[in-house]
Amino acid sequence: MKKEWVLTQDSFDGLLDWLDADRERAGKAYEAIRLRLIKIFTCRGCSEAEDLADETINRVVTRVREIAPDFAGDPVQYFYGVSHKVHLEYLRKRHLTQELEDTVSPAAIQSTSSIDLAEDIEPEYQCLERCLGQLPENSRDLVVRYYQQEKQAKIDHRKRLAEELGIAVNALRIRAHRIRQSLHECVLKCLEEQPAN
């Protein structure tokens, strides 16, 4: 999917100008669009989500000087339209592989998942312990307490924890998620640093 196309400073500046007159805000808008495009491609089951998001952005950049002056509305919608085309091309290229995947029987899916679940997560576990050790104590305590317990006990437990912290249950949910996300990033970084077997 990746095309040999180089993003020039001039064309990139054109994109930033279109997104926002303020350069800092434009940079943030660009980052947000890229992340969300990656997520959307991921949610559509595309294995090359990052490449597809970059391809979408590159295509917008090549046309930005031409379209920006007359474009009405949120530029994000234009990105979304281009992402559709990129996705359709991706699907066409993947057509044969897709056909093969569709013929996989449910029994085969079942056994694949059993293999996934039985997979050894020792490296992740080691890294997680290390990363938890690097967290501030209150964050570590929060993430452990938030995700502990089962079913009803978990719900009651979270309510109590939110009351203790003086925040709403949903604010607690967001806070726990952000810590979990930073832990996951730390674990990925730690795994990269580990010597390959």
Partner 1 sequence: MTPNLAEQERIRRYLLGQLADDARQAIEGDLLTSGELFEELQIVEDELIDEYLAGKMSADENVQFRRHFMATVDRQDKVRFAGALHRYLKEKERASAPNLRAAMMKRAWAIPVASLALIVLIAAGLWLTRTREPRTFATVTLNLSYGERGPGDQPTRVKLDPDIDALKLLLKLPDSSPPETQYRAELLDNSGGSQSVEAVVQDSQMVSVLIRANKLKREAFAIRLFARGPDGVEHRINGNYLFVIE
CA 22 to chain centre: 26
Tell me the C-alpha distance between 8 and 19, whole Å.
17
Shortest reach from residue 180's CB to partner 1, in Å: 6
Shortest reach from residue 125's CB to partner 1, in Å: 4
Q: Which is nearer to partner 1, 8 or 113 (CB)?
A: 113
Q: Which is nearer to partner 1, 127 or 142 (CB)?
A: 127
CB 59 within 8 A of CB 8: no
Q: Which spans of this chain sit near partner 1 (rule: CB under 8 A)?
A: 32-33, 35-37, 39-40, 42-43, 45-47, 49, 74, 76-77, 79-80, 106, 109, 112-113, 116-117, 119, 121, 124-125, 127-129, 132, 144, 147-148, 150, 152, 155, 158-159, 168-170, 173-174, 177, 180-181, 183-184, 187-188
Q: Which is nearer to partner 1, 8 or 92 (CB)?
A: 92
CB 146 within 8 A of CB 176: yes
Tell me the C-alpha distance between 101 and 87, whole Å.
18
Q: Which is nearer to partner 1, 9 or 170 (CB)?
A: 170
In this structure, the number of other CB atoms found within 10 A of the CB of residue 26 comes to 17
Rounded to 10 degrees, the C-alpha dihedral 137/140/141/143 comes to: 160
Tell me the C-alpha distance between 129 and 136, whole Å.
13
Shortest reach from residue 164's CB to partner 1, in Å: 15
Shortest reach from residue 16's CB to partner 1, in Å: 17
Q: Which is nearer to partner 1, 5 or 125 (CB)?
A: 125
Shortest reach from residue 69's CB to partner 1, in Å: 22
Shortest reach from residue 32's CB to partner 1, in Å: 7
CB 98 within 8 A of CB 44: no
Q: Which is nearer to partner 1, 68 or 76 (CB)?
A: 76
Residue among 140, 124, 5 nearest 59 (CA): 5
